[in-house]
Amino acid sequence: MMAWTDRHCRFFHRLLSQRTLLYTEMVTTGALTHGDVTRHLRFNREEHPAALQLGGSEPADLAHAAKLGQQWGYDEINLNCGCPSDRVQRGAFGACLMATPQLVADCVKAMVDVVDIPVTVKHRIGIDQEESYEFVRDFVGTVAEAGSGVFIVHARNAWLQGLSPKQNREVPPLRYELVWRLKQDFPNLVIVSNGGLKTNDDMAQQLTHVDGVMLGREAYYNPWLMSDWDARYHGEAERVLDRDAVELAMVDYMERAAAEDGCPWYAIARHMLGLRHGLRGARYWRQVWSDHKLKPLPPREVWKMAQAHVLAAEEAVPVVATL
């Protein structure tokens, strides 16, 4: 979810669910060692609970990055061992790390030794043509011994050659049964299922076998799916959420971000374009918030224009043809 789940996206998602654990986009150890730490780690206090997802393969560098994450207030450190992109492979991290479970264990141990917050691992069920259950079982067993108690498992292999990252999310078949077997073989670990989940029914099925579920792009494109998760999954009292109120809260946030660091409203608005997914008038509403010609306007003026389309759609009377 690089360039997707930034702090503005996470602020938006937090308006929809107070309890769902939110993950950052992957931040590389190189970016934290040589880059702008504030830019990469800054987040809003409203985002808690939030996990910092790291990309790297050097134990010392990951320990340094994890320590920074804790200092900045993150609630969890997550090591990405699932990304199959060529760029990530060139950096010798992501899904290719599954071929070296002892190195992953060393990385986890280095992080566990320097932080007091959980260190978790996100990974695939296999790489390339290695489709045996024993491969992922041994990977999890080795890494768990280093101190990680939570494994987020994308139920597809990662093909390191021949497929794009997009194809890697669609072409290798989903094999949830391998994820479920991990929970059976490691009952003391927290096993979280990821990949291909789009509805609450999908999630309910997984939760009869594992401890949790993770959604990525579906939560981004259809964020209103999250609106009842606090009550449905976390035992909270039901909240009455309203899309108009959420949108207005985002306008307030846009104004706040502009005042704090000059962030333009359109860098934030792009993350909420799925808010009215499936509703009448959603297309025109998205067009307003995406219109480059409106960039010079303050966000509250853009909001008024977008609301006009929503009201027009709600007041439209269906045409009934008769013979």
Q: Do the beta carbons of residue 306 and residue 248 sit within 8 Å? A: no
DSSP 72-127: TT-SEEEEEE----HHHHHTT-GGGGGG-HHHHHHHHHHHHTT-SS-EEEEEEEEE
Q: Is the domain of 254 the same as that of 207?
A: no
d(C-alpha 164, C-alpha 125), whole Å? 18
**Whole-model pTM?**
0.91
Q: Is the domain of 83 the same as that of 138?
A: yes
Q: Is the domain of 104 the same as that of 80?
A: yes
Q: Is the domain of 137 the same as that of 274?
A: no
Active site (catalytic) residues: 83
Q: Is the domain of 196 the same as that of 297?
A: no
pLDDT at 211 over 80: yes
- Calculate the average pLDDT of the chain: 92
Query: Prior bond to 49 cis, omega within 30?
Result: yes
d(C-alpha 234, C-alpha 10), whole Å? 19
- Residue 285 within any structural domain of the chain: yes
Phi, psi dihedral angles at 85 (to 5 degrees) = -65, 155
Q: Do the beta carbons of residue 95 and residue 158 sit within 8 Å? A: yes
Nearest to 69 by CA among 92, 89, 83, 50: 50
CATH, residue 152: 3.20.20.70
DSSP 157-224: EE-SSS--HHHHTTSSPP-HHHHHHHHHH-TTSEEEEESS--SHHHHHHHTTTSSEEE-SHHHHHSGG
pLDDT of residue 200: 96
Q: Is the domain of 222 the same as that of 271?
A: no
Q: Is the domain of 190 the same as that of 252?
A: no
Final residue of a structural domain among 234, 266, 287: 234
pLDDT grade, residue 312 (50/70/90)?
Answer: confident
Q: Is the domain of 55 the same as that of 187?
A: yes
State the residue range of the domain holding 277: 243-315
- Residue 259 within any structural domain of the chain: yes
Q: Is the domain of 198 the same as that of 249?
A: no
Number of domains in the chain: 2
pLDDT grade, residue 323 (50/70/90)?
Answer: very low
Q: Is the domain of 159 the same as that of 187?
A: yes
pLDDT at 317 over 50: no
